[in-house]
Amino acid sequence: MATLVLGGSRGIGLEIASAFARDGNHVFINYANDDAVADEAERRILNEGGSCTLVKADVSTPAGCTAIAQAVRQVAGRVDQLVHSAVMAYPTSILDAEPARFDKAVSVNGLSLLYITQALAGLLVRGSTIFYLTSRGGRTVIENYVAVGVSKALAESLVRYMAVELAPRGIRINSIAPGIVETDAVRAVFGNNASSLVAQSAQKNPSGRAVQSEDYVALMRFLASPAAEYITGQTFFVSGGANLHA
């Protein structure tokens, strides 16, 4: 089996890649720039007993996604799990946003979900599952988060439309929204406040703790299994109830 993780060299994407590799899948890790970080991610997968192929490409364009699909096709004849965890964190208010940077962020964070799904035609087969990593910022206003939030909202809508068109082919697609984790993207948006924000979120969480990788990975394993073949087009919050606060 094969799993492709966009933005899989660090953060939540790497945790997901690692988990699916331990399940016996060959993992393709897509990344954009940092070769050293990608090499370290590959070493982690191999040290944990998995197998891995690194794919350096820009997901923000159809051409970049086509290159990813070609790299996958050379090694595997199918993609069982596609995970979109790529994110470009551009901290800005909406009225001060630079059009070019905002456009790039929306392409990386949102439109690339469509580009990669189109590029993987023939590799996504009956039983394949697509996951899009989203957040509550796609539904609520968070300061300086608009470039990510608008992208997430766009992609969540894409998930619904794509679910209807993919269902007759036996391909499922769902959005996963983990609770806040201190990732590079979170640090880029919130700066020096990131650590305290994550800590406060854990303290205030109705379930009494911060989200852990196994919380969302366990859900994804289930959704990727035959037992979940009738579940598609949904958004699942994995936040211990934190998303229910006003």
Q: Which of 90, 152, 161, 204 is catalytic?
A: 152
Burial of 51 (0-12, 13-18, 19+ CB in 10 A): middle
* Catalytic-residue membership of 216: no
Q: What tokens were used for 75?
A: 């090694």
* Catalytic-residue membership of 204: no
Number of other CB atoms surrounding residue 143 within 10 Å: 9
Q: Which of 90, 115, 145, 216 is catalytic?
A: 145
Q: Is the dihedral of CA 242, 243, 244, 246 positive or negative?
A: positive
Burial profile 66-88: b = 16 or more Cβ within 10 angstroms, e = fewer: bbbbebbeeebebbbbbbbbbbb
What are the angstrom distances between the C-alpha of 146 and each of 129, 133, 186?
Answer: 28, 16, 13
- Give the relative orientation of helices 35-47 and 11-22 as an angle to the nearest 10 degrees: 30
Name 52's bridge partners.
27
Give Cβ neighbours of residue 37 (< 8 Å, ≥ 6 apart): 9, 10, 31
Closest of 216, 242, 22 to residue 131, by C-alpha: 216
Give Cβ neighbours of residue 211 (< 8 Å, ≥ 6 apart): 178, 179, 180, 181, 238, 239, 240
Q: Kindly list the catalytic residues.
A: 145, 152
